[in-house]
Structure 1
Amino acid sequence: MKNNEAIRVAVAENSVIIRNGMTAVLKRIPNLKIQPMEVLNIDALQELLRMHMPDILIVNPVFDGYFDLNRFREYPRTSCIKCIALQGSLLDTSLLNKYDGIISIFDDMDMITEKILRLQRYSGNEETEEESESLSSREKEIVVCVVKGMTNKEIASKLCLSIHTVITHRRNIVRKLQIHSPAGLTIYAIVNKLIELDDVKK
């Protein structure tokens, strides 16, 4: 996201009151040009994704019954969209941890502004790193772990990270390298001397 461009934010929420309220708050955030788009059901979300790809999706985890975040992120077009959970009720923490951020319907204007700004800064930093097409040292560590067959949970434990952070790093790796399979990552790791051939033999 460039500073002079409007940030496209989709709000996916079945409740018209909450959806309209969130949209009104987004329009009032100071020093940010936000273009909010309201989404009332899953069909409308799919149509929006075809027409106008948002930078940020604020979505109720129980949107249209259940919003499958993992499936949403499987596709290259949507994997780079930042997803914020819109929490309107008590939800399982493990469900919320998958999101890039959480906005509660009880948050005040300052809290919501801070969360959007933090996410925007984070997104801007990612784009700068991606332009260089080089992996950070942490991303290289994660590539090695993936090549060794470790799960996200095992990687998180080994590197003292949250599972959510590991997933975010893995998405960044896919976007930078355009490699979508463990086999492809194995070849990349060997060619770039991140790992020895003997280390991946079973």
Structure 2
Amino acid sequence: MSSEPIRVVLVDDHPLVLDGIRARLEEEAGISVVGEACNGQRALEQAKALEPDVMLMDVSMPVMNGFEATRALREQCPNVRVLILSMHDNREYILQLIQSGASGYILKDVSSEEMVKAIETVHQGGTYFSSGASQTLFSRFDEPATPVQDTGVLTRRELTVLKLLAEGRNNKEIARELDISVRTVETHRQNIKSKLNIQTAAGLVRYAIEHNLVQMS
């Protein structure tokens, strides 16, 4: 893991929110707030100028909202990871943002510690959903999972790894749960990406959702 701090741009149209988040993140030695934006258009400009690692972004904003900005960032600044911070726990919001390219979604009622963990997780290439967002997103998957294993695309173990990835687990956590090495998890992850022709964590989450692989009670 790099010793360089994670470069973050904050995007929200409420100055008090920006001030509060900046003040909290400035306490973290591993995070550097390098810019702020009050709308999606400005966020895109900041991304191009500052080349941050992570954009911590609201959804409801003037000029260009979070959906539009996330799609534009995916196309124009693919190396920038987008973490949504929103008050909305609407399932369609979350799904649309994942489909737009967001790597994570946390609600504004999370603790500052969880916000930091989310930033670190998406920076490392993972996906992160706060508990409230996870319940909203996954609790309605009450139908039997689509039997994609019958297609022969993924092995049973690869399906298990994909399910855990979609739930926001990182490689070390998956390795512990399945009692395999981290290197083996990485191999499975690369095989999954290759077989599905999906190269992003958000894309894998979207695939898992579309095939009802993720179910939470």
Distance 1:139 1:42, change over 3 A: closer
Residues 131-146 of structure 1: matches in 2 within 5 Å?
A: 136-143=190-197
Residues 120-199 of structure 1: matches in 2 within 5 Å?
A: 120-122=123-125, 136-143=190-197, 156-157=210-211, 160=213
Residue number in structure 1 paired with 2:110: 107
Equivalent of 1:90 in 88, 91, 101: 88
CA contact (8 A) 1:12 1:63 kept: no
1:84 Cα deviation after fit: 0.7
Secondary structure of 1:115's partner?
A: helix
Residues 68-87 of structure 1: matches in 2 within 5 Å?
A: 68=68, 69-75=70-76, 78-87=77-86
TM-score, normalising length from structure 2? 0.54
CA contact (8 A) 1:54 1:81 kept: yes
Structure-1 separation of matches of 2:195 and 2:4: 34
Distance 1:36 1:105, change over 3 A: farther
Distance 1:60 1:153, change over 3 A: same
1:113 Cα deviation after fit: 2.2
Q: After superposition, give the CA deviation of every residue in 1:44-67 in whole Å (9 maximum; x if it has no partner).
A: 323313321111001111122622
Residue number in structure 1 paired with 2:53: 55
Letter in 1 for 2:60: V
Structure-2 separation of matches of 1:59 and 1:155: 23
Structure 2 unaligned segments of length 5 or more: list them.
127-169, 172-182, 184-188, 199-205
Count residues in correspondence. 141
Residues 24-35 of structure 1: matches in 2 within 5 Å?
A: 24-29=23-28, 31-35=29-33
Residue number in structure 1 paired with 2:43: 45
CA contact (8 A) 2:56 2:82 kept: yes
Structure 1 unaligned segments of length 5 or more: list them.
130-134, 145-151, 163-202
Larger radius of gyration: 1
CA contact (8 A) 1:23 1:36 kept: no
Residue number in structure 2 paired with 1:186: none
Letter in 1 for 2:190: S
Letter in 2 for 1:48: Q
Structure-1 separation of matches of 2:122 and 2:47: 20
TM-score, normalising length from structure 1? 0.57
Residue number in structure 1 paired with 2:5: 6
Structure-1 separation of matches of 2:54 and 2:73: 13
1:17 and 2:20 correspond: no
Residue number in structure 2 paired with 1:189: none
1:3 Cα deviation after fit: 2.0
Secondary structure of 1:54's partner?
A: coil
Distance 1:47 1:114, change over 3 A: closer
Secondary structure of 2:125's partner?
A: helix
CA contact (8 A) 1:6 1:35 kept: no
Q: After superposition, give the CA deviation of every residue in 1:98-123 in whole Å (9 maximum; x if it has no partner).
A: 13122322222221222223223336
Q: What fraction of aligned residue pairs are identical, expressed as a percent?
A: 14
